Amino acid sequence: MGSHFRSYIWDPVLIVFQIVLMQCIYYSFLGLWLAGVDCLVPTHSSLDQIFSYEVLGFASILGRLSMMAFVLNSLTCALGLWFFIRRGKQCLDFTVTVHFFHLIICWIYNARFPSSLSWWLVNLACMALMAVIGEYLCMRTELRAIPVNSGPKSNL
């Protein structure tokens, strides 16, 4: 039986740990980006900036800066996909999982399903950015040339 190049082995423990790791990356870097936003605009920091539907909006400067923090966070999470997931085929799966858990947590935090159009637009745009950039980075690494002549040369 021959070996398969980069064969995938089903490891549910690894997948659960990767989901938890990506969720931690998502919220920790989102918190850092929002802390940077809070330095630009005098406001009070709260969990509402992460979980509330009303904070993300085009009407206020804080809403636009918060949307910018979410977009920058999707770029940071794409790097997390590249460093820790390392498979282009799995980037979309982990991206959707991270944003699905964010939806569930926001739903619980607000005690109602999100109805804000700006919240949906920001999260869909961030999901697309995170998946596409993460997959691009992973595919570049996966398609890197494999050196064939790495050993010493023999004279025949």
The pLDDT of residue 141 is: 87
Q: Is the pLDDT of residue 151 over 80?
A: no
pTM of the predicted model as reported, rounded to 2 decimal places:
0.84
Signed CA dihedral, 68, 73, 74, 76: sign only: positive
Structure tokens at 40: 């630009």
1 has a pLDDT exceeding 50: no
Asked whether the beta carbons of 140 and 87 are under 8 A apart, the reply is: no
Tell me if 85 sits within 8 A of 141, measured CB to CB.
no
pLDDT (mean) for 73-93: 93
